[in-house]
């Protein structure tokens, strides 16, 4: 059975078998995603879901990050996953979507509940990425799932969350199989959720998938059951949505190829296709000493899939025209000072916004159709034209990932009221912590 193969791998994983560079990337991901949840507590989705989770009551098993509240582990995962994606600064992945906002909150909440070690947490997060990202790839990736199936493929990161939570509970392979099956009762998403106004339902989906992963592991642990082979069975996940070689994808390279190495980090709280455009525009302005008042037109080119995500969207944080205009007027974007809605009253922003256009870049579409690159051309009032292309934005794994110094600077800016140095120190030596919950406590409010 295909699910049993995954389950046997999951139950046997241990941190000591993970290569040093993979452990280091996992610790960076954990640090960054927990900070994202703390940062996103201020978002409408983050605030509302924390209020909901606190109202449920129950055992004080895990922290709602950014607060002093402790709630049952599943509800902490719900609140933290939702907040983690609430400000669009959480990490992405080369396969697509946002595994970190689901896998890390689920693993952290369960680690707190179980009083697991930091090494156990690292192992669980690496495992959750390995399973979840392979599931997304096995259904053809983010864009195929959306365009053909109308599915928000991030729900499959819930399968990764279930295996991560199950590993922290010490489930045997059979219980892991049932946890993955029980997850499917609780996690799904129609792409209509993107037609929202305030980024609440998209944020909530990440939290719901984390909640479902923790809940599924808890259900399996007490003896609840589902299909023995939810991944490979007739009418199972791959039978419903898988691509032709999907069965090979979900097991290929397990234990040798660690997909967390494809994790990408974000430094601007905006939809991921926007990042390369903002970076390219800043480089054009810097290299050619262009004054904002001297810009006559700005054109952004990107692959068609990326363009569909961010072209003229009503929500500012996922609209490339809005965010690029704001970045040019303000001289950049920072986490601490969000431009919207305050900048809407600035005449300079309105003028710049009218000058920004976007379209498909033929070269990027041919060379990397599922990539996150962008080409920006700025025409000045004197008639000069300057172009710059960014294939991989800052923090992208194919550009080399990030350093701890990068993450320190990001969160000293984004969370000036938190002891980032303590959280950073704990994350860097996470495998030495006897109790992983001390890392969550570093993000208390």
Q: What is the mean pLDDT of residues 362-386?
A: 96
98 and 205 share one domain: yes
Q: Is the pLDDT of residue 143 over 90?
A: no
191 and 235 share one domain: yes
Report d(CA 440, CA 35) in Å as an integer: 10
Question: Please, what is the end-to-end C-alpha distance for the chain in angstroms?
Answer: 46
Other Cβ atoms within 10 Å of 255 Cβ, number: 12
Structural domains counted in the chain: 2
Q: What is the pLDDT of residues 386-414, one digit of tens each?
A: 999 999 999 999 999 899 999 999 999 99
- Residue 360 confidence (pLDDT): 98
Residue with tokens 């055992």: 59
Whether residue 266 contacts residue 92, with contact meaning beta carbons closer than 8 Å, is answered with yes
Q: Is the bond preceding residue 341 a cis peptide, omega within 30 degrees?
A: yes
- Choose one of 390, 412, 433: the last residue of a domain: 390
- Residue 4 confidence (pLDDT): 98
Q: Is the pLDDT of residue 197 over 80?
A: no
Residue 94 φ then ψ, to 5°: -65, -30
116 and 209 share one domain: yes
Q: How sure is the predictor about 188, in pLDDT bands with cuts at 50, 70 and 90?
A: confident
Give the 3-state secondary structure of residue 379: strand
The pTM of the whole model exceeds 0.85: yes
- For residue 175, what is the domain's CATH number? 1.10.4100.10
Residue 348 φ then ψ, to 5°: -65, -35
- Residue 146 confidence (pLDDT): 87
Q: How sure is the predictor about 169, in pLDDT bands with cuts at 50, 70 and 90?
A: very high
Which residue range is the domain that position 235 belongs to? 2-267+399-441
Whether residue 11 contacts residue 167, with contact meaning beta carbons closer than 8 Å, is answered with yes
Report d(CA 209, CA 188) in Å as an integer: 8
247 and 323 share one domain: no
Q: How sure is the predictor about 199, in pLDDT bands with cuts at 50, 70 and 90?
A: confident
Sheet bearing 385-390, strands edge to edge: 356-360, 295-302, 374-380, 385-390
Least confident residue range of 11-25, 55-69, 196-210, 418-432: 196-210
- Residue 195 confidence (pLDDT): 79
Taken as a whole, the chain contains a residue count of 445
Q: Is the pLDDT of residue 381 over 90?
A: yes
384 and 420 share one domain: no
Q: Is the pLDDT of residue 140 over 90?
A: yes
Whether residue 134 contacts residue 39, with contact meaning beta carbons closer than 8 Å, is answered with no
- Choose one of 347, 365, 390: the last residue of a domain: 390
Report d(CA 396, CA 264) in Å as an integer: 4
On average, the pLDDT of the chain sits at 95
Whether residue 105 contacts residue 63, with contact meaning beta carbons closer than 8 Å, is answered with no
Tokens for 319?
């609209």
286 and 351 share one domain: yes
Report d(CA 21, CA 28) in Å as an integer: 11
- Residue 315 confidence (pLDDT): 85
338 and 422 share one domain: no
94 and 185 share one domain: yes
Q: Is the pLDDT of residue 123 over 80?
A: yes
Whether residue 24 contacts residue 263, with contact meaning beta carbons closer than 8 Å, is answered with no
Q: DSSP 3-state helix, strand, coil percentages of the chain (rounded to 5)?
A: 60, 10, 30
Q: What is the pLDDT of residues 84-112, one digit of tens each?
A: 999 999 999 999 999 999 999 999 999 99
245 and 344 share one domain: no
Report d(CA 173, CA 177) in Å as an integer: 6
255 and 343 share one domain: no
Q: Is the pLDDT of residue 273 over 90?
A: yes
Report d(CA 159, CA 181) in Å as an integer: 9
Sort strands 295-302 and 356-360 into parallel, antiparallel or unpaired.
parallel
Q: What is the mean pLDDT of residues 340-365?
A: 96
19 and 131 share one domain: yes
- Choose one of 372, 390, 408: the last residue of a domain: 390
Q: Is the pLDDT of residue 145 over 90?
A: no
Provide DSSP, 19-71: -HHHHHHHHHHHHHHHHHHHHGGGSHHHHHHHHHHHHH-----EE-TTSS-EE
- For residue 369, what is the domain's CATH number? 3.30.1330.120
Which secondary structure element, helix H or strand E, spans residue 263, and what is its range?
strand 263-264
195 and 222 share one domain: yes
Q: What is the pLDDT of residues 213-227, one digit of tens each?
A: 999 999 999 999 999
Q: Is the pLDDT of residue 445 over 80?
A: no
């Amino acid at each position: 059975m295909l699910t049993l193969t995954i389950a046997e791998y999951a139950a046997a994983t241990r941190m000591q078998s993970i290569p040093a560079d993979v452990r280091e990337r996992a610790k960076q991901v954990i640090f960054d995603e927990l900070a994202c949840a703390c940062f996103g507590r201020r978002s409408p989705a983050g605030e509302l879901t924390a209020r909901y989770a606190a109202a449920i009551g129950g055992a004080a098993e895990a922290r709602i990050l950014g607060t002093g509240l402790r709630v049952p582990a599943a509800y902490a995962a719900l609140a933290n996953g939702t907040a983690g994606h609430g400000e669009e600064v959480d990490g992405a992945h080369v396969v697509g979507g946002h595994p970190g906002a689901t896998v890390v909150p689920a693993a952290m909440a369960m680690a707190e509940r179980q009083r697991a070690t930091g090494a156990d947490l690292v192992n669980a997060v690496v495992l959750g990425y390995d399973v979840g990202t392979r599931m997304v790839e096995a259904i053809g990736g983010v864009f195929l799932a959306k365009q053909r199936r109308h599915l928000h493929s991030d729900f499959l990161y819930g399968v990764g969350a279930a295996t991560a939570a199950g590993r922290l509970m010490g489930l045997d392979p059979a219980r892991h199989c049932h946890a993955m099956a029980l997850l499917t009762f609780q996690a799904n998403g129609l792409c209509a959720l993107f037609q929202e106004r305030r980024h609440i339902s998209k944020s909530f989906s990440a939290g719901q998938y984390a909640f479902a992963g923790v809940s599924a592991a808890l259900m399996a642990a007490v003896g609840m059951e589902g299909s023995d082979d939810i991944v490979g069975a007739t009418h199972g996940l791959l039978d419903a949505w898988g691509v032709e070689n999907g069965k090979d994808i979900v097991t290929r390279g397990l234990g040798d190829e660690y997909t967390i190495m494809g994790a990408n980090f974000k430094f601007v709280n905006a939809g991921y296709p926007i990042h390369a455009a903002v970076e390219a525009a800043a480089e054009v302005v810097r290299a050619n000493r262009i004054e904002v008042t001297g810009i006559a037109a700005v054109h952004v080119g990107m692959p068609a899939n990326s363009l569909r995500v961010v072209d003229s969207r009503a929500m500012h944080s996922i609209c490339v025209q809005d965010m690029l205009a704001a970045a040019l007027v303000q001289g950049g974007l920072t986490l601490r000072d969000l431009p919207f809605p305050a900048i809407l009253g600035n005449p300079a922003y309105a003028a710049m916004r009218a000058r920004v256009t976007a379209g498909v870049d033929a070269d990027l579409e041919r060379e990397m159709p599922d990539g996150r690159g962008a080409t920006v051309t700025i025409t000045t009032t004197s008639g000069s034209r300057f172009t710059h292309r960014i294939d991989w934005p800052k923090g992208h794994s194919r550009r080399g990932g990030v350093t701890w110094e990068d993450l320190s600077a990001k969160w000293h800016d984004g969370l000036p009221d938190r002891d980032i140095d303590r959280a950073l120190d704990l994350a860097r030596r996470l495998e030495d912590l006897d109790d992983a919950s001390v890392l969550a406590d570093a993000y208390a409010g």
